[in-house]
Amino acid sequence: MSAWVFLILILALLPVVILSLPLTFKGGGCLGMEEQQLEARLAWGWGLLTATAGLNGSKKSFGIRLAGIALPVSRKKKAAVRAKKPVKKTGRRGKRHGFSFSAVSTVLSRQFLAIVLAYLKRIFGSCRLRLRLSGVYGADDPALTGLLAGLAAALRSEHFSSGLEADFSGPVLDIDIEISGRIIPIAIIGLTIRLLLAGPVRKLWWGQLKNKFIRRKQKEVAQYV
């Protein structure tokens, strides 16, 4: 095998290797009515590249490390913000592009919703998300507090541990948060491609793409007529 072929092979496999490395995240802190303290850490490649962020009241911190070596982070603020130029209003309205509600409604079905929900479930499972909440909370309206308590009970699962206690006497917030998880980018990309190629979803984006191509061809023909 020649050196050029070996180099091309490495360059071809490099994106796959990079996307296969895990991206882990972990955070926690406390939320209160008078004080907030949060910390978060994002690591890629088993800690080869890490980013940390923190919030302690009004103080914020941010740092990046590569192979354990701290990298400089620019904290300079722009001295002045450029004034926005006034937009001239014209009588003609710009054309809107993208997905329209009517296009979505034509393909919206139980099968479509089932595929999307299954995709979200797989994404959620692949992230290995773990969330733990504990503390006391309450709103001004007891009915709202009861609604939040019902929502917290409905979301409780193996991924979500809740030790929250509702206080119906008045507004109160004193919650401890812990969250962690792991993401493998190539797995997320694979699940997303699988979703886009599913029949009901493919019908949605393929129809929009085909209509856009037809409109462009019609404009090109009209210019030469």
Helix ranges (DSSP H) in 21-168: 101-107, 110-126, 142-155
Q: What is the pLDDT of residues 78-129, one digit of tens each?
A: 444 445 555 554 444 444 444 444 555 555 667 778 888 888 888 878 888 8
User: What pLDDT does residue 93 have?
Assistant: 45
What is the arithmetic mean of pLDDT over 51-76? 83
Give the position of tokens 């004193």.
174
> Which residues, at least 6 apart from 161, have a Cβ–Cβ distance to it below 8 Å?
130, 131, 132, 133
Extract the runs of DSSP E, i.e. beta strands, from 6-56.
23-32, 36-44, 49-56
And the tokens for 109?
């079905």
Residue 125: Cβ within 10 Å count: 11
pLDDT at position 41, please? 92
pTM of the model: 0.58
What digits encode the pLDDT tens for the residues 11-62? 888 888 888 888 899 999 888 877 788 899 999 888 888 999 988 877 888 9
